[in-house]
A and B are shown apart, each in its own frame.
Chain A
Amino acid sequence: MRTPSSTPLKFLNLWQIRFPIGAIASIAHRVSGVLLLIALPLLASVLARSLQSPAEFDALRAAAASTSGTLILALATWALAHHVLAGIRHLLMDIGIGSGLAQARRSARAALIAAPIIALYVLVRGLW
C-alpha cells in the first residue's frame, strides 16, 4: 500500500500518449532552439578564427566541407530552418493569423516537412 505521504501516483508515460501534430512541431521547435543555443558559443569561436587570417578562413571552410562538417552543418540547418519556420508560425498565430485548429495543424505539418528538405539540400549541395 502507498503511504499518503509518498509522492502521488500519476499516469504520465509520454510514449503512451498520442501527440497531435502541433505538439510534435512544438517539441521540435524546442529541440531546435536548444541546438541553436549550443551552437551560439561555437559560432563566436568560428567568427574569431575566421577573421584571424586567410589561411584560418580556408581551414574553417575545409572543415565545413568535410564529411562530419557537412553533417553538423546539415543538422544546424535543420535546426535553424525548423526554428524559423515554426517561429514565423508562432508569431503569426500570436496575432491571430492561422490560429484556428485546422490551419494550425496544416502549418505545423508544413514546417515539419519543409525543414528536413532544406537541410537535405544543404547536405547534398553544401552551403556555398
Chain B
Amino acid sequence: MHLRIYRFNPDTDTQPRMQDYDITPEASDKKLLDVLVRLKSVDDSLSFRRSCREGICGSDAMNINGRNGLACLQSLDELKQPVVLRPLPGFPVIRDLIVDMTLFFAHYHSIKPYLINPESPPERERLQTPEQRERLNGLYECILCACCSAFCPSFWWNPDKFIGPAGLLQAYRFIADSRDTATAERLDYLDDVYRLYRCRTIMNCTEVCPKGLSPSHAIEQIRLALLKQSS
C-alpha cells in the first residue's frame, strides 16, 4: 500500500513536505487508522491524533485523498492509491497531521453548548415527549471532529468570525431542545453577518460528516427560526 503523507516538524522545518510510505497491511487492518498506527511503529516521528479508534472521540479527522474524514472510519478497500493524507484544510498546522483546534472550540463554546433553564428543576428530571426527543436526533450525535468546518469554504475565509457548520449544528441542538428556555437569546446571538450568515449552503459540511449528520439542514432550520421570530 502506497501512502503520501504531509510532514511538518515545527522545530526543524520551514516548509511542509510530502513523504512517501510503502507498507503491507496485515489481514487484521481494516481501516486507515490501523495502517497509520502500523506506520507509526516503523517511523515514530509521524504524528497524528487518535483515541477511540471507532468514530466516537473525533480526534483523527484529516484530509484523505482530498476529502475530510476520520481515519478510523475510512475502510482501506475504498481507498484509491496513493493514499494522500494532509491535515484538515484551513486549520493551523501544529505538526504533521495535527492541527490547532483552539478557534474551533472557541466557536463551540460561544454558542453556550449546555441547557439554559432558570426554572427550578423538577424532583427527578425534565421530561420530554417522544416527539420532543425525536427533534434532537441528527444533532446530538455530533462528535466535534471538525471534518465539516474544515471543509467549509466560508469557514476557510472567515475562521475567526463565522461559527462554522459544527458550531451551528450544536447551536441548533440547543435551540431545538424543548427543555432549553434561551431560544430567543440564542437566535439573537446568531443573527449576525458573520456568525450565521456567512453560510452559502454549499453543503460541503454535509458531504463529509463522518456521522452522516447534516449541518446545512441545521443552518436552514436556524434561518427559518429567525424568520419566524422576527415576523
Contacts and interface: CB of A to CB of B under 8 A. Distances in A.
Interface class of chain A by DSSP: loop
B93 A10 contact: yes
Contacts of B151: 17
Interface string A11-31: 110001111101100100010
A99 B220 contact: yes
A8 B203 contact: no
A41 B86 CA distance: 44
Given A11-B88, A22-B204, 17 more contacts: A2-B10, A8-B93, A9-B92, A10-B91, A10-B92, A11-B89, A16-B66, A16-B86, A18-B66, A20-B204, A22-B207, A23-B202, A23-B207, A30-B200, A96-B220, A99-B201, A101-B207
16 contacts: A1-B13, A2-B10, A10-B93, A11-B16, A11-B63, A11-B89, A12-B156, A16-B86, A17-B63, A18-B66, A26-B153, A90-B201, A93-B201, A94-B223, A99-B201, A104-B206
Interface of B: 6, 8, 10-14, 16, 63, 65-67, 84, 86-93, 100, 151, 153, 156, 200-204, 206-207, 214, 216-217, 220, 223-224
